[in-house]
Each structure stands twice: as C-alpha cells, then as structure tokens.
Structure 1
Amino acid sequence: MAGFNTAVTGLKAATTDLDVTGNNIANSSTVGFKASRTEFGDIYTTAVVGAGSSNVPGSGVTVTDIAQDFSGGTVEFTNNNLDLAINGGGFFQLDDGQGGKSYSRAGAFELDKDGFVVSKTGEYLQGYQLDEAGNRLPIDNLAVTERESPPKATEEMALAINIDSRADASQLLPAYNKDEPGSYTYSTTMEAVDSLGNSNTIKYNFVEQRPVKEVHTFDVSGAGNYTISGVTVADTDFTAGQISAVKLDELKAADPRIFNVTTDTTAAPNTVSVIFSSDSTQYGDLIASNGTAALTNEVVSEITAAEQHTFDFSAAGFGPGYAGATTVEFEISGVQFSFDASTADITAEDVANEIIAKRTAIIDANPNVDSITYDSTNNQLLVTYKPEAGDVTDDNLDLVFLSGTNAFAGTPAAVTNVIGPDATVDGDDSFEGTYRMYAYLNQDTILTIGKQPDPGSGLNLPEVGAILIKYSPNDGTLAEINGQTVTPGSVVPSITVEGADPANGATTIDLSLDNSTQFASDSIVKQSTQDGYSKGDLVGISFGSTGEMIASFSNGQNQALGIVAIATFENQSGLQPAGDTQWVESLSSGQAIVNPPGTGLNGTLRSAALEQSNVDLSEQLVKLIEAQRNFQANSKTLETLNTVTQAILQI
C-alpha cells in the first residue's frame, strides 16, 4: 500500500514543522533573530505521457522551504552607545578577518583591544573610513583611531552686546584707565585658548566718547612755514585766527580726525591749535614740525563739543539818554520782549535779565538749546546748545527788532561760537553713538585690534590701541567698525585681534560684532562664542542616524571617525543562515549592495538600541499545537493502514 509512504512523509513534514517552531521559540529572546516558517508542497507520482489516469491519489507531502521572516523586531534601548539597531531594511556587514563576509541584524558591538568595532563573535564591523576633509574612503574595518583631541588655538570669536544708550558719557572720568571702571562704559571678558591649549582671557572695554573735542596747541614762534600731518601751513593761511576752508579741507584729507585749526599771533608765544573731532581717539599722536624738527611745547587740552552762541551786550542800552529811545520791542525765536525807556535808562544787564526770565519759553521753541546764561563780567548773553545738536547755524537764535531804535552795538551782535572769552569753535556731534574699543590679554597686555597708524607716522601695519565702533543714533544698530561702514543687511566687517596667543605670535583672531546694538536697555552680552579648545581625552563613542561614528572627547569636541556600511540584497530571502544570527550571500540572494544608512532602501541607524527577535511567542505556541496535531493525525494514518493490513492477513 502506498498509504504507508504517504503517512511517513506526513510524519517527516510534521517533525520538521515542530523543529522549526521549536527553534523559533528557543530564539524568542535572541537579538536580531528572524523567525522561520515551514512551507509544504504535495507529492504526486508522475506518469508516462498519455498513460494512466488523472484520478490518482497523492503520494504525500514534502517540505518545499524553510522561509525566513525578515520583518523588523522590536527596538529596545540600552545604555551602551555601541549597541546599534537598523530602523528599516538592510544588514550590518561583518568581516571575519580572513576575507569572509557575513551579514547580521544583531547590533551588539564592542571595542577590542586594538580599538576595532567587533561583534560578540569577533567579526569586524565594516564601514567607510574618512579622510581629514571628511570625504568617504573605501570600506574597511571600523576602528577608533583617535584617543585624544589635540588643542586648537582660538581663531574666531563672535561677540554680540547691547550697550545701554541711556548711559551718560559726560560722567566718565576724563582720563581712560583700564583699571578704573569709572573711565569706561562697558566691559566684558571672553575665553581664548592658545596653541598649547592654555586658557587665557581677553577683556574688551568700550569707552563712549565724551562730548568734548581734543585740542593740540604748538608753539610756532619763528617757525615760518610748518607742517601738520605732512601738510604745509603758513601764517597767510589764516584770517583773524581762522584757517581758510581750502587749507582745512587739505588737512582733513591728510588726517580725518582734524575738526578745525586756529592760530593766535596776538601774544607770545605764537601758537597754532589743532582741534580733533569728538569721535577721535583721546590723546592721539599729532605730527607737527617746522620742516626739520618736531614743534615743541605741545599742550593737550579739551573743549566741550557743545556750541555756544553769544550776544554782545557790552555797548548795549537805551532810554532818554540814548537818542531819545522810548519803547523798544524785539523778539527771539518768537518770544517777544518790550521795554519802556521813556523815564529811565535800560541797561544791558536789564535786557539780559529779562531775556533769561523768559529762557524757558525760548528753550521750548528751540529744543536744541541747553541753557541761556548771562556773563555780567563781559556783558555777554550765552546760549549753549546741546552737544548732540552739532554745528548750529549762526542765525539760529535771531534777535529781531519789532519797533524802536536798535541800540545794540552795531546790529544784534553777529553770533559767534565762544569757548572761553577768546577762543571760538563750532559744535560737533560726531561723538554720538561712538565708542573706543580696547582689548587686553589676561587683564593686562593691550592687544592690537586693527587701529590704523596715525597719519604722518610712516607706519603701515596696525598699531596697539583702541579702534572706533559707531552705532546709528537713529535705530541703535552698528553703523561703522574701525572706519568701515556697516550697510544694513550686509556682512558686518570683522576685527582682527593680534597677540592673543602667547604660544604662537602668528595666531590671529577674527572677531565678529554682528548683532551688537545700542538700545535703551541694560548693557548685556547677547552672544559670546569662540572656536578654541584645550587638549581632550576620549570619553565615548556614539553613532548618528546616518551612520557617522562620532568620538567624543573631554574637551567637548566631537570627531567623525567613519560611517557604518549597510548592505541590502535584491532577494534577501535567498540569504543562507550561518549561525550566530548571521547570513551569507548566495546565488539566490545576489551580491550585497552597500551604502551608508538612510540612503536608497537602507534604514537609518539608532545608537544605544538593539533590535530584538521578531518571534511572536503566542503565535509560535499555536503553531506548535498545529504541528503536534498534524503529527498525531499522520500517526493515526499509519495505525489505520496497519489494522487494514492485519485484517487482510487474517483472511
């Protein structure tokens, strides 16, 4: 009877099913394990063509395949960064060190004594090596090749601050001193690392320009022609002590700091005074000579940047004794004044006091006016403007007669700009929003930060000293850095800091002040970064989602050492199991296609995670019952056939 063979094939198939199911259950906790299932096919006896009948019984069952289920297992997170899981398709490629390649989903890796990343069975994890520029090299064994991170000197700094625009520069001490906080507006300190990894500090001091102008006065007695910043100046260039506009323009072209030049030849010694603009560096060097030797007896002083206009009342007055004047009316900026001089003389001081009594109304009509005072000694009415008003026109406060006789000396005296009884100078608002910026290494050594040589010095390289930082008085944003204009929306010019690396004098730092402002709020640091770091030791390895193997060092630096390779196959079901949750390629699977994670069909990588077995234990237990039932049923077939055979033998 053919039924005996049929039953035997059923028993064999059921036994194989039991074996496969039992193996799945046994590996339900194996990392990276993929469950298998038994696939069956029926058996029919073949016949010669044209012979026999289609009504033939089958010959049993056969196991056509033990197919693997490559669906992903549950990913569980661990505390080991060398535990890797593939979130998607693909396999880790492993090398046994003798040219044999295998593939696995089990990502429990570790470092061997030589720093190579290996599996639990000692195979080397494959990946792309990286050159110094980060370019991928051919696939090889991944290894931790860097055990320490060498120091890097600071080469770039970014400092963004807000300086309170409400700070009053006039309250600063006149002489700047880095050790005297009252002489600068704001200060902040940043770390800088030298070429040997030593940590240093760079202190930046910001000194708001005070509303004063600097005056350099030289004795030019007997000098004849002399030079200022290389420009020849003669007595004939002055009229009433004021230099000609043409010569002043020539001097400003030679030295942009110059605001005005005056001379005094009425007393000995004869002097020439060079007035710097309010935003010039305090006590800057000025080159002046008589052609062969430097001029001597230089006096450096300061004058206010505020403009003063004076009305000369020294010969003023009216009344019965003044050409019969009776009633005099005049106005200043719309504020009217009237005097009845029919019975008594009106003195200059009477007029001045009346004007001062109404100074509030005059100031309200002229917001740029700061004060109105009377100098009784010199019979002068002084109108002082706010420094930020800059150069005010001479007719800003016209005195207009409405009626009566003009009894003032000449006309209402030509308005002049008076600083002291004899000197005259225009107002200057160039100081607004202007700061001198200094830099010091370790609180002590002043650094070169790009200060251009003073005109006429003959130097070409930047000098040690302060540079000018300017903010727009309109919106508080950066307007100028060290002479370079900052255009809104454009790249902010950087500052080159020299001498901040004691170990290597050739090191320079590129300092950016982008996003610095001058708003009416507290002075604060908004951003402070630098790219230097000290020497560091290896503290750990981690992996990115796209496969980068990152070494972390104790100095906070990270370095990419390689990229994990992920292999895919045209037919992954054709892979041959090799044990230890590994597979090898076969003719059916095709050759491995290797790429970094996250590209093509490759999944991404998860560090500190392991993919668990994809075995569903409850499902396998049900299959176990089914396989047991099939085995028992085939055993019953044998038993029945045996009974039938015995019955035949007893006939």
Structure 2
Amino acid sequence: MPFNTALSGIRAASTDLTVTGNNIANASTIGFKRSRAEFGDVFATSVLGAGANAIGSGVQVEDVAQNFKQGNVAFTQNELDLAINGNGFFVLSDQGTPVYSRAGTFGLDDQGYVTNNVGARLQGFQADSTGNISGISDDILIQTSNLPPRQTTLVESVLTLDSTEPVLQSTGRRFTTLGNVIGVTQAGLRDATTTNLTSNTFTLPLANDFATTPMTFDIQLSGASSGKNGTVSINLDIGEGVPATINAFNDLRTLTGVINSQIFSPTLPQTAIDVVANAVDYGGGVYGIEFTALQEGEGSQIQINTPSANMNQIGLNPATTSVAGIPAVDNGYPQQSVDFVDPDGDIVTYTALAGATAARTASEMNAIQGISASATTTATLSNLNSANDNLTVTLNSVQLSGDSLQALEAEINSLTNSTLPGISAALDPSGGALVITSAVGDDIRVSITSTDPGDSITVRGDQAAPAQILQVPPVSAGNYDADNNSIVVGGSIELTLDEGYSMQNAVPDAVGIFQPFTSDPADPEFTDVTLNAFDPTDQGTYNSATSMNVYDSLGVSHIMTQYFVRQEYDPNDPTTSPNHWVMHVQIDGRNVGDPDTSLPPPANIEPTLASFNVFFNENGTLNELLTEDMLISNWVVLDQQGNPTGAMGPQNVLAGGSIVIPEPPTSSNFVIELAGTSQSGTDFSVDDTDQDGYASGRLSGLAIDENGVIFARYTNGEGQPLAQVALADFTNQQGLQPIGNTMWAESFASGPPNVGTPQSGALGAIQSGALEESNVDLSEELVRLIIAQRNFQASAKTIETADQVTQTIINLR
C-alpha cells in the first residue's frame, strides 16, 4: 500500500528536520559536532529474496552519524580555555566516570581542580614537587598555595673570557718614609698672628684743618713673604678726598680709605705693598689707626718714616714699631725633593712642600705614573688632668666635650664620618692612652683650654721621640689657652713603585719626611711586593666579574660574585701554564672558602677566599680535565649585620663535604659548573647563567603550551610545570555515545580510548586561550532544512494522491 510507503517518507523527513534543527540549535555550542541523518530503502523479502520486479516499501533511518570535522578556533585570552588543533578528545572524569569532549571551557573549582562548566574534572599527568611529569593519569589539580623556597645547590655559568686581557699582577717595590721629623710633636700657636703696627690713641675732633695743612708720611713694609715689600708715600689733604676736619669716626674711616687707596695705587715709580690701614674705635671717645700686613704668619715689619709735623695728631711717628706675625704651628716637615725613574730611564722630580700634610704629599705622588702612595698619622693622648672637669680638648679644630680618655674615644669615633673625617680613636689595652689615627694621613692637631690652672694633657707622636705636655698656666681667673697653645703631629707615607720603577736622589735632606735612601736592591728600605694582588674592592685587580643571586635554605637571596683573574705564563717557568685563569668567589662580599687549618687560632677556623683554577684548550674551549671541581663548602649564611640568620650551615671538605649534593640538601653547599665557558679574543660576556634555588612565591599566573604542559608562574619569578593535559583518541569516533553537555562516552562500537599526550602519535596540539567552535555550517543546514521540508511535503502529497485513488475505487458501482 502506498500509504505505508508515504508514512515512512514522512517519518524520514521529520527525522531529517529534527537532526537539522538540532544542528542549527547548536551552531554556537562550543565543541559541538554536527549530525547527519542517514537513510536506507526498505524492500519486502522472502526466503529466496526479493523478486526481480519487487517494489520497495519505503525508507528507514539507518543512522544519525556525527561529523567530527575540526571546528573554527576562536581566541578568548583566557588561559584555561583550551582548543584541540587536530585529532583527539579531552579526557574528563564525571564523578568517577570517564567521558570525552572537544569543548575546552575550563576553570578552577573551589578545591583547585580544573573542571568544565558542568563540574567534570579534566584529566592529565600530574608533576611532582621538582616539576617532573609522571605517567599516571589523574584529576589535574592546580596548587594555589605558596611555592616553598628551595636553596641553591647548582650554579651554571656559561661565559666568554677575553683572551687578550693583560696579566694584572706584577712585582713592585715598597718604601715607607721614616724621616726624623715624622710623628715628632711640634708645639706652637694654634692660629697664626699677623704683623701689625698700632698708632698711639687720640680723641676727636682732630685739631688739624686738612684744607690748609695736609699730612704726609711714608709707610714701609719689609720681610714680607709675598714679595710685595717697599715704601709708599701718603699725602692726606682734601684734594685726595680727606674731609677738611675729622670730627667723627666715619670721617676717620674716610681718612684710612684715602690711605689704602694710595697704598694700593701709589704714585709711580712706587709699587703697591701688602699692607692695609684700619680705623679703630676703642670706645670712650678714644680712637686709633692700625696697619696690618695682608699675609698672616709672616715675620715682616711695618715702619712709619718722614712724617709731617702734625702727624702726631693721628698717633703716628717714626718711633712706632710693629709686632711681627707668628705662623701657626705645622708638622715641621721641610721642603724636600725626590726623583722617580720609569722603566725607560725618564726622571720625574717631585717636591714635597714645607709643612704639607702626608695626605697631600701622598695624593700628589699618586698622580705620578707608576707610583701609588698612602698616608697615615698616629698620635697618642695620655695623662689627661682635669681637676674640675673643665678641660676642653680641641682636635683638628673640633671642640670635644669628653672629660676622660674613654669619653673622648667614643666621641671621636662618632664624628669619624662627619666633622672628623677619617679619624678614629682606640684605647690601648691598659686604658691609660688613647691612640688617634688619621687613615688618610692628615695632620693631627691638639689644643686645650680650661678655667683651671694646671689642667694638662700629654701628646706623643713618634714613640721614639719625646712627648709634649699642653698645660694651662697658673692664672688667677678666666679661660686661658695652654702654654704651648697647640701641638701638631705629622704622618708617614707608604710608597709602592710599579715593576721597573725606582727612586733616586740618594740622600735627601737629613731632616724631613724622607730619610736618606738608595735604590740599591739590597737596601732594606725597599721591599718586594706583589702588585695588583686580587682585591674584590679594587676593580684594577681582576679582569672580569659577574654576579647573580643564590638562595639559602630559608629562601633568602644573596649575591654571589665570580671574579676572573688572568694568570701569567712564562714558557721558561714550568710552574706556569698557558690559558690559565683563577676564579675567586664571594657571597655578599664575604669569603666562603674552607678554613686554613695551618694558621694559628682563631684564623684557623675563619673562611678563606674561595679560589678555583680554570684552564682552556688552545682552541678556546674549556679544559675540563685540568679545571678544578668547584664546590662552595663554607658558606655561613649571615645577615647584613653579620649575624647568623638560622639558615642551614655549611659542610666543609674536611667535614665530608663533596660535589655530590644530596636531595634534599643537608648543608648550604652548592656546586658551580662552567660547562660551555670559552676563551676568545672578544670582550668578556655572560652568555647564560642559571641556578636552581628560589624564594617562596605565590601563584601569579598559568601558561599552557601546545604539548598541554600547564606551567605555573610565581611571584618570586620562578616557574614550574604542574601537569600535562591528557588527550584520547578512538578507533571509531562514530561509535562514541553522545551523553549531552557536548560530551561522549565510550561504547563497544567506539573501541577503547588511546590516551596520550598532545602531539604524540596521531593526537593534535593544544591551543591555550582559545575554544573550538561548533562545526555547524548554517548555510548548509538551511539548505538541508528546505530539502527535508520538501521531502515531507512530497510524502504527504503521496498520501493525498493515494487517498483520492482509494475514493475513486470505493465510488465505483
């Protein structure tokens, strides 16, 4: 009957409409795979099969097949959104039941598990605490707790050392000044005085009328060290600017101004002299004029000559005598010259000026090629006698308040970085003497004041020379300086001559900072000394250096610095080798080498400089056979103040430390490896550095690569693999059973899953921050919808036609 055939067509068209409608409905469903209704015709059969003229019985739905074609990949910028580029399914656990999906809309649940939007957990291969991924599949768990710290056990450095670097270390000669005035206490005035001539006093107004009676006189300066000696004639009348009458102090100041203008601009051929006139108001209506030399501390003389008759009105006459200036006390060093000879025989003469400090002389010598100099000054204070604690000590113009040697020690040391730069103090073991040192060789100047007569202090410089006593003289009252006023102690200089340099001028002045000396190599005044010996604080003693952070057991970072020093090679010296360097290592600027047990206590337990020999082959590669193993085995972890931090301590070689570091580590020891380091004719460079320690950190982000490895980033700058996403494939994907929520379950028809890692075998790659969209093509589905609708209408038309035929048959009579 055609009715059954038409009904099967309607049912098939309806199924096609339903499948197409489902595809259209899921056009925006992530990971959805479109379906296709597949039909087959129906024939009535017998035992012997259908006849040659058999008519079909309609249509039936044979399968609703899914199309697992790749959908478009849309980027979302969400790291946990995943898409599979290629073959495979995400493996999920839905409350213990394994299911599979292409939808990668993942996030974290409250326990840190990676789940999809219906709570199924993503499966993968979890990593251990060191980041090694295992082969056991399980729920992927993202640990959001802090990453515990890890101490450094291995440092890897790949460097390029410059083969053209010079050998810095050499042998020079050292000389210490031992002149017979070094450290000898020099006593004298604390402050220099100036030559002055004071007139007799007078009152104002003056009786003289300068309009009718000018005053004239000559002023003479002699013995001035400046060289501006001579005589200047002075003419005081109204034509030169002097008031006709001198009635008040301002008039007197005008008069001295006229005198000064003529002193400084005399009538030729006279020349200016170094003298100045000042008007003085002594109070009580008494006045005077004072002439003063411009240079202080010189023993010059000022004289008044050939005065006119009325000169006595301003207190000047030839009988007036000047008081010569007195220089301030200095270190007593005379002017001396020495000669320095360079390797080419050229001579540089250096002259140390009279009274120059050792610091200045050393500084000037440092400017000479091939010469380095340093200076120190030492003075000792003792026998401080202050009857009523009124004694005040002044050190290098700084007034101190301490009333005992102990108090002075603390006060001086508190000022060493401010008003007393470079000066320190230390009590001797007996407590009876205070040793004051200027580390740069400045003069040490001591003076005292007190209101109590007899207060005193003893000052000694050179221990082989006599001491001097500053003492307040017996007076009735008032605050007075000590008798000698001030004592100055000068310093000594240590000179180092580079290799090939020498000193001559065999016999300097017998009295001075330099003692008589010769350049004879056998002269005990000169000693051989290693120059540019490694000093981490002096960049001139090492060729190259690099620093990096290492971590203690508490996760605290410390700065490890590697210094490289090129070693000398002499083909005639079998103890030297070509292409030889030494690497020195310090942590936080402190030594970390094993102690030298041959030294006397307590030095035999102190860390030494960690040094390792590094050798290169002729082609510049590292000679691993000769290069030493590099174990840092004496790192005592200290804070910035030098106190232990409580972090794990070292195990030095004598105590069993070795380059095999256990895991977990049991000491602060770590190994340095230079594999890949080379030597070439290029500038020093750091090609790669790495170390395996880090501080504690918090999770700050995730990254997932195309192999599905989930990589965690932490706030301490570290990263660590947490897990690797697992993918599954099936022999017959069409056999998978859809279970909704864009997931499928394994079935007998699909076969068992083949689980592996992304990009292994036939499995695709993972794209992080992206989702695979539905593979539904709307235009195609709409066409299919039209076709299904027409098929439905056509089958319905078959029923309508069959009905009309049936009615016609029924109506036959």
Q: Give, in whole Å, the separation in 2 of the partners of 1:644 and 1:188.
A: 102
Kindly state the Cα deviation for residue 553 of structure 1 after the two structures are TM-superposed.
1.8
Instruction: Find the counterpart in structure 2 of residue 215 from structure 1.
Output: none
- For 1:432 and 1:585, locate their aligned partners in 2 and report how far apart those are by CA, in whole Å: 70
- Checking the alignment, whether the CA contact within 8 Å between 2:617 and 2:623 is kept in structure 1 is no
What code does the residue aligned with 2:613 have?
Answer: I
Going from structure 1 to structure 2, the CA distance change for 1:528 and 1:31 (only over 3 Å counts) comes to same
CA separation in 1, counterparts of 2:112 and 2:553?
28
Unaligned runs of 5+ in 2: 171-497, 499-529, 639-646, 650-666
CA 1:594–1:634: 2 relative to 1, 3 Å: same
Deviations 1:461-507 (Å, cap 9, x if unpaired)? 99612535355696665568xxx724xxxxx7434353064422121
Question: Hey, what's the Cα distance between the residues in 2 that align with 1:89 and 1:139?
Answer: 19
Q: Are 1:532 and 2:693 an aligned pair?
A: yes
What letter corresponds to residue 7 of structure 1 in structure 2?
Answer: A
**CA drift at 1:130:** 4.1
Deviation at 1:630, TM superposition (A): 1.1
Q: SS of 2:798's equivalent?
A: helix
* Equivalent residues in 2 for 1:175-254, closer than 5 Å: 176-209=534-567
Which position in structure 2 is the counterpart of 1:145? 143
Q: 1:127 to 1:473 in 2, by over 3 A?
A: closer
Equivalence map 1:114-129=2 (5 Å) = 114-129=111-126
> What SS does the aligned partner of 1:498 have?
coil
Q: 1:610-637 deviations in whole A, cap 9, x for unaligned?
A: 2221212222222122112211211221
SS of the aligned residue for 2:698 comes to: strand
Question: Structure 2 length as normaliser, TM-score?
Answer: 0.47
Q: In 1, distance between residues paired with 2:50 and 2:610?
A: 111
C-alpha distance 389-456 of structure 1, shift in aligned 2 (>3 A): farther
For residues 394-417 of structure 1, the C-alpha deviation after alignment (integer angstroms, 9 at most, x for no partner) is xxxxxxxxxxxxxxxxxxxxxxxx
The letter for the 1-side match of 2:591 is: I
Which residue of 447, 455, 461 corresponds with 2:592? 447
Deviations 1:250-279 (A, max 9, x none): xxxxxxxxxxxxxxxxxxxxxxxxxxxxx8
Cα offsets for 1:193-231 (capped at 9, x unmatched) = 222121211223334457xxxxxxxxxxxxxxxxxxxxx
C-alpha contact 2:612 2:630 (8 A) present in aligned 1: no
Report the Cα distance in structure 2 between the residues aligned to 1:161 and 1:452, rounded to whole angstroms: 32
Deviation at 1:36, TM superposition (A): 0.7
- Quick check: 1:13 aligned with 2:12? yes
1:203–1:440 CA contact under 8 A, matched in 2: yes
- How far residue 73 of structure 1 moved from its aligned partner, in angstroms, is 1.6
Distance across 1 between alignment mates of 2:92 and 2:719: 26
The number of aligned residues is 425
8 Å contact kept, 2:43–2:50: no
For 2:784, the equivalent position in structure 1 comes to: 623
Q: Name the CA shift for 1:187/1:173 in 2 (closer, same or farther; >3 Å).
A: farther
- Equivalent in 59, 77, 82 of residue 79 of structure 1: 77
Cross-structure match for 2:33: 34
Q: CA deviation at 1:115?
A: 0.6
Distance 1:634 1:76, change over 3 A: same
SS state of the match for residue 202, structure 1?
Answer: strand
Equivalent residues of 1:451, 1:467 under 8 A apart: no
> In the TM superposition, what whole-angstrom CA distance separates every residue of 1:20-40 from its partner, at most 9, and x where no partner exists?
111112212211111111111
1:136 and 1:523 map into 2 onto residues whose CA distance is 41
1:139 Cα deviation after fit = 3.3
Shift in Å at residue 557 of structure 1? 2.7
Asked whether the 8 Å contact 1:197–1:533 carries over to 2, the reply is yes
Aligned residue for 1:340? Answer: none
Contact in 1 for aligned 2:551/2:693 (Cα 8 Å): yes
Structure 1 Cα separation of the partners of residues 121 and 50 of structure 2: 60
Tell me the amino acid that sits aligned with residue 609 of structure 2: G
1:504 aligns with 648
Partner of 1:464: 608
User: What's the CA shift for 1:140?
Assistant: 2.9
CA distance in 2, matches of 1:634, 1:104: 38
Q: Is the 8 A contact 1:451 1:466 kept in 2?
A: no
Match of 1:216 in 2: none
Q: How far, CA to CA, are the matches of 1:468 and 1:645 in structure 2? A: 110
1:485 matched to 2:626 = yes
| Preserved CA contact (<8 Å) 1:495 1:512 | no
CA contact (8 A) 1:153 1:501 kept: no
Deviation at 1:452, TM superposition (A): 8.0
Structure 2 CA distance, aligned partners of 1:566 and 1:52? 48
C-alpha RMSD of the superposition: 3.5
Deviation at 1:16, TM superposition (A): 1.1
Matched residue, 1:640: 801
> How many angstroms does 1:453 deviate by?
7.0
**Is the Cα contact below 8 Å between 2:696 and 2:716 reproduced in 1?**
yes
Q: Which has the larger radius of gyration?
A: 2
Cα distance in 2 between the residues matched to 1:466 and 1:141: 48
Residue 634 to residue 485, structure 1, CA distance change in 2 (3 Å) = same
Q: Which whole-Å deviations, capped at 9, do the CAs of 1:270-310 have from their partners, x for residues lacking one?
A: xxxxxxxxx8xxxxxxxxxxxxxxxxxxxxxxxxxxxxxxx
- Alpha-carbon shift at residue 588 of structure 1 (Å): 2.6
Q: Provide Cα deviations, 1:220-254, integer angstroms capped at 9, x if missing partner.
A: xxxxxxxxxxxxxxxxxxxxxxxxxxxxxxxxxxx
Equivalent pair of 1:131/1:137 in contact (CA under 8 Å): no
Cross-structure match for 1:265: none
Distance 1:612 1:54, change over 3 A: same
Deviation of 1:100 after TM superposition, in Å, equals 3.1
**Residues 565-590 of structure 1 deviation map (CA, whole Å, 9 limit, x = unaligned):** 32333332122221111122333333
Structure 1 unaligned segments of length 5 or more: list them. Answer: 211-278, 280-387, 392-427, 487-491
Q: Which residue of 2 aligns with 1:295?
A: none
CA offsets per residue over residues 27-64 of structure 1, 9 Å max, x none? 122111111111111122344x4799543322211111
Over the matched positions of the two proteins, sequence identity in percent amounts to: 40
The verdict on how the C-alpha distance between 1:434 and 1:570 changes in structure 2, with shifts beyond 3 A counting, is closer
Name 2:431's counterpart in structure 1.
Answer: none
Contact 2:33 2:68 in 1 (8 A): yes
User: Structure 2: which amino acid aligns with 1:390?
Assistant: N
Q: Which of 144, 152, 155 is the equivalent residue of 2:153?
A: 155
Question: Which deviates more, 178-187 or 22-31?
Answer: 178-187
Show the counterpart of 1:324: none
Does the 8 Å CA contact 1:84/1:609 hold for their aligned counterparts?
Answer: yes
Equivalent AA in structure 2 for residue 464 of structure 1? T
Cα separation, partners in 2 of 1:430 and 1:604, compared to 1, 3 Å: same
Q: Corresponding residue for 1:390?
A: 572
Q: Which amino acid aligns with 1:41?
A: G
What is the alpha-carbon distance in structure 1 between the residues aligned to residue 20 and residue 673 of structure 2?
68
Secondary structure of the 1:30 match is: coil
The CA deviation string for residues 429-473 of structure 1, in whole angstroms up to 9 with x for no partner, is: 838655554322212x1221x69877999x999961253535569
Distance 1:58 1:389, change over 3 A: closer
Distance in 1 between residues matched to 2:567 and 2:606, nearest whole Å? 21
Q: Which amino acid aligns with 2:564?
A: F
User: Alpha-carbon deviation of 1:161?
Assistant: 4.0
Given that 2:82 and 2:766 are in contact with CA atoms closer than 8 Å, whether structure 1 keeps it comes out as yes
Secondary structure of 1:13's partner? helix
Whole-angstrom CA distance in 2 between matches of 1:545 and 1:559: 16
Are 1:564 and 2:689 an aligned pair?
Answer: no
Are positions 1:110 and 2:107 aligned together? yes
Change (3 A) 1:190 1:596: closer
CA–CA separation in structure 2 for the residues paired with 1:202 and 1:504: 17
Query: Do the aligned partners of residues 158 and 141 (structure 1) sit closer, same or farther apart at CA in structure 2, a change above 3 Å counting?
Result: closer
Provide the rounded CA distance (Å) in 2 between the counterparts of 1:123 and 1:51.
Answer: 51
Instruction: For residue 63 of structure 1, give the secondary structure of its aligned residue in structure 2.
Output: strand
Tell me, yes or no, if the aligned pair for 1:94 and 1:102 is still in contact at 8 Å: yes
Q: Return closer, same or farther for 1:636/1:442 CA change in 2, 3 Å cut-off.
A: same
Q: What amino acid does structure 2 have at the position aligned with 1:36? A: S
Letter in 2 for 1:205: Y
TM-score normalised to structure 1 length: 0.58
* Residue-by-residue CA offset, 1:587-617 (whole Å, 9 max, x unaligned): 3333434333334443333322222212122
- Distance of 2:534 and 2:746 partners within structure 1: 78
Classify 1:591/1:106 alpha carbon distance in 2 versus 1 (closer, same or farther; 3 Å). same
